[in-house]
Amino acid sequence: MSTPSVDTDTTTAVPAAGTTPPKNLRREVERRRTFAVISHPDAGKSTLTEALALHARKISEAGAIHGKSGRRSTVSDWMEMEKARGISVSSTALQFDYADHTINLVDTPGHADFSEDTYRVLTAVDAAVMLIDAAKGLEPQTLKLFQVCRHRGIPVITVVNKWDRPGRSPLELLDEIEERIGLTPTPLYWPVGIAGDFRGLLDVSEHQYIHFTRTAGGATIAPEEFMDSEAAQSREGDDWTTAVEESELLVESGQRHDEDEFLAGRTSPVIFASAMLNFGVHQILDTLVSFAPAPGPRPDVAGGEREVTDPFSAVVFKVQAGMDTAHRDRLAFMRVVSGVFERGMVVTHAQTGKPFTTKYALTVFGRERTTVENAYPGDVVGLVNATALAPGHTLYADRKVEFPPIPSFAPEHFAVLRAESASKYKQFRRAVDQMDQEGVVQILRNDIRGDASPVLAAVGPMQFEVVSARMKSEFGVEARMEPLGYSIARRTDAASAGELGRQRGVEVFTRTDGVMLALVSDKWRLQYIQKELPDLLLEPLVAAAD
């Protein structure tokens, strides 16, 4: 079995930050494309991520998720749990160059239980690729994530994946997109051949045929052959005629790409592909480079905007430990918002007002690390052992700025966590603190339960499995979880806590960030308390679907 050929240079060959003139900064910004891939579980997201890296020549052979025999696991799925189950449970940042552009791709968890992690990622990108299964169409998790993109003004490129397998008709899929999410699909590359018989793509704007040739297991780039309309007609016959007629029907009805409409979030360019066979992947990258927006200004908490040419600033959107078992370090992923980042520069941590030294800075490709000397707006940089940083924190140089915090979702699942062995208590505490800082779960405490029995609060139960697996693998701690009979969390305050604590089916906790939460057994109990004690504060939290 071959292994990926990954760039391992120790430095990034770009000019030093202090010598970069403003016009060069602007040029570097225009070269950046920072995006996320969003989808329902099993739509092929991690496989597509791998295929994109393959076409950018970052790796020599693509992997696949669990269950695809003959291919190694994907670079972006690095946790043992991900490899075993074939699902992504943690976001991963990948950076590579393509067509004179620097691509920052953030692979997101597909499972609904990790929607909070996906939301954090979507605060750090400028565009999204919405991946749809050709047979299943739009699914619940995809719809939720699209609504987040719409709320944040993130333009969306639609990729219909798995066209090499039996599925629905292309016109039916596009009708569903328009009807269910109100987004007008504009085809850029239309399939030649029905789902399950993927011959190639019609380049709608060039009226050109791109024919693909399969490779062994889809592990290498599929050769492309370009033909004019006459040659395509001769080769594909009725399949070519059907593709031309369907695409022309859509264009004539007004479904043609318009950049302003796309950036405004009213239309979505559409590409048909097979990530597993590496068909259409090159076209996805070309579309991102051509149409996805470069980094722009970001709103701050004062109501202004930080321009990309302003002094350095960045926002932390993800904290992850356990990626390097040899060093057991902790990475804080920051998205550069403005200015030029220079490794070793001393910046200010906005939340504490304290100086922060950026000596250990990396770009990340899965688990592979490369020391980065400079980074520009749009780039994702990992800061090693940045224990003071948490998702939503701001770093800046020179002129002060603070970006809005990333909200925590309303948890729906609760469990008491206990160490199996009292002799492992110190390791247990370190593990709990680390999971809390990373935002893997929310940690709740109160005086009655004490630190030895913290309560975990999660959007989905699979988050508990991640905690257990990581505590065992990274800290050597066996822990057990005991589910609690609560299903609702509401924000409260000290004035209401006493009375709430006396109510049946209610328990009050304090989250690590200082927010007081009342856990309630069910909606009927909540309705009763709100009716009988209307003066008590029971404020809804942000829901995962908001």
Identify whether the C-beta of residue 200 lies closer than 8 Å to the C-beta of residue 316: no
Phi, psi of 462 (to 5 degrees): -65, -20
**Closest to 278 (Cα-Cα) out of 536, 71, 541, 490:** 71
Burial class (CB in 10 A: 0-12, 13-18, 19+), 471: buried
108 is in an annotated binding site: yes
Q: How far apart are CA 531 and CA 546, in angstroms?
A: 26
Q: How far apart are CA 116 and CA 123, in angstroms?
A: 11
Q: How far apart are CA 227 and CA 264, in angstroms?
A: 34
Q: How far apart are CA 423 and CA 429, in angstroms?
A: 12
Q: For residue 424, how many C-alpha atoms fall within 13 Å in the half-sphere facing its CB?
A: 15
4 is in an annotated binding site: no
Q: How far apart are CA 544 and CA 110, in angstroms?
A: 14
3-state secondary structure of 491: strand
502 pairs with which residues across the strands? Answer: none
| CB-based contacts of 325, cutoff 8 Å, min separation 6 | 474
Identify whether the C-beta of residue 31 lies closer than 8 Å to the C-beta of residue 72: no
Rounded to 5°, the CA angle 406-294-247 comes to 105
Can you tell me which residue has the tokens 């309303």?
Answer: 410
109 is in an annotated binding site: yes
Kindly give the pairing relationship between strand 394-396 and strand 346-349: antiparallel
309 is in an annotated binding site: no
The two three-digit tokens of residue 188, written as one number: 């850029």
| CB-based contacts of 339, cutoff 8 Å, min separation 6 | 25, 308, 309, 310, 311, 312, 313, 377, 397
3-state secondary structure of 4: coil
Phi, psi of 288 (to 5 degrees): -60, -45
Can you tell me which residue has the tokens 């991102």?
Answer: 288
CB atoms inside a 10 Å sphere around CB 26: 15
**Closest to 526 (Cα-Cα) out of 499, 488, 491, 483:** 488
**Closest to 261 (Cα-Cα) out of 112, 155, 377, 399:** 155
Q: How far apart are CA 142 and CA 270, in angstroms?
A: 15
**Closest to 380 (Cα-Cα) out of 399, 363, 402, 365:** 363
Q: Which residues are annotated binding-site positions for GTP?
A: 107-111
Q: Which residues are annotated binding-site positions?
A: 107-111
